[in-house]
Amino acid sequence: MNISTQTMTEIYEAIKTPYKVGAVIKQNNHLTDSPSVFRWCGKWYMYYIMIDKNAENSGYETHLASSDNLVDWQYEGRVFARTDSEGWDSKQIAGYAAFSDLHFGGSNQLLSVNGKYYISYLGGNLNGYETDPLSMGLAYSDSPISPFTKFEKPILSPFDADAREFERVTLYKSNLFVDEAMTQGHRYVNVYNAKATDTKERIYLAVSDDAEHWVRYLDKPILDETTTIPNLLISGDPQIVKIGDIYVMFFFRFQGDAGGYNTFACSYNLVDWTVWDGEPLVKAQYEWENIIAHKSWVIKHEDTVYHYYCAVNDKDERFIALATSKEILR
């Protein structure tokens, strides 16, 4: 079921963030990427990933930062580190917050599921920047800021027998959430992007009834723009929130030389999506982000929307930046 133009415009007005704050997490010798923000025990936390600028001999690791105001962030430590083992996730381990409060403007807390807190991650055992193949892992802890215990094997992999046509090379960012409405008959849902041999990325669904064992849902992507948008290479890094009875999916597009930007789509059922065709939510505007502005994590707290994203410039810098719905002075 398509969502009306009027409703899409109303959603856009509710989530737009025209004010750029600038960098909030930036490292001189590393590239920082893929923020996911949540509330815990009266404080804000962010998982994010980092890789050495000499990526050929490096790989993703996951880190943690904290904040009292969602703008100024302090480093707390490493969540996942690379190892010298031969394990499937020994050289790449990029984590993302799982089972966050789905309601936009809600608590922004991570939800306890099975008496645990989970984090999903992209994993691989080869050095380099997102070197194929990559699979999807899961880990759990007594709290979202305590050490995590990883599951021994991936929960989803491009080598699975049921891997779909366009996800048989690499699985990227996953966003696991609790669907209280059980719209497609399952309480736990996983939305993620994956790459095919054509190097293009599309967005897929998986589902679970226990939050730990996952199966693919449908035999095709829920979002595939490769045939409708010229030179589109990626629809990726989805995040789902809910506004009323509408699921809103934040994601980014990358169109080669045209660059990358963040936009959104809406759905009543998690399967049929109406994609916003207006102004991007975040795009490259300033010298400090003059190549790409992409990979979003969006929350609403009190009366302000905070849109965290990855900014890339021609000075070999990649860092986490922030745009907001209201002007914030630092």
Q: What is residue 256's predicted lDDT score, i.e. its pLDDT?
A: 81
In this prediction, residue 223 carries a pLDDT of: 97
120-169: pLDDT as tens digits = 999 999 999 999 999 999 999 999 999 999 999 999 999 999 999 999 99
**Whole-number Å distance between alpha carbons of 181 and 16:** 26
What does the pLDDT read at residue 91? 98
Taking a C-beta distance cutoff of 8 angstroms, is the pair 141, 155 a contact?
A: no
Q: What is the pTM of this model?
A: 0.97
State residue 297's pLDDT score: 98
Task: Tally the residues of the chain.
Answer: 330
Q: What angle do CA 33, 34, 37 make, to 5 degrees?
A: 120
- Looking at 188-255, list the stretches that DSSP marks H as alpha helix, in order from N- to C-terminal side: none
Instruction: Tokens 């992007």: give the residue.
Output: 193
Provide the b/e sequence for 4-17 (b: ≥16 CB within 10 Å): eeeebeebbeebbb
SS3 108: coil
Q: DSSP class of residue 126?
A: S
- Within a 13 Å sphere around the CA of 269, how many CA atoms are in the beta-carbon half? 9
Q: DSSP letter string over 142-164?
A: SSTTSPPEE-SS-SB-TTSTT--
The one-character DSSP state at 282 is: B
Position 216 scores a pLDDT of 98
DSSP label at residue 200: -
Instruction: Tell the residue number behind the tokens 């750029």, with chain if given.
Output: 20
pLDDT recorded at residue 257: 77
**What is the per-residue pLDDT across 282-303, written as a single tens digit (0 to 9) for each?**
999 999 999 999 999 999 999 9
Residue 222 has a pLDDT of 98
At 259 the pLDDT is 85
Give the chain's residues under pLDDT 50.
Answer: none
Distance (Å, rounded) from C-alpha 94 to C-alpha 225? 25
Give yes or no for a contact between 151 and 117, defined as CB atoms under 8 angstroms apart: no
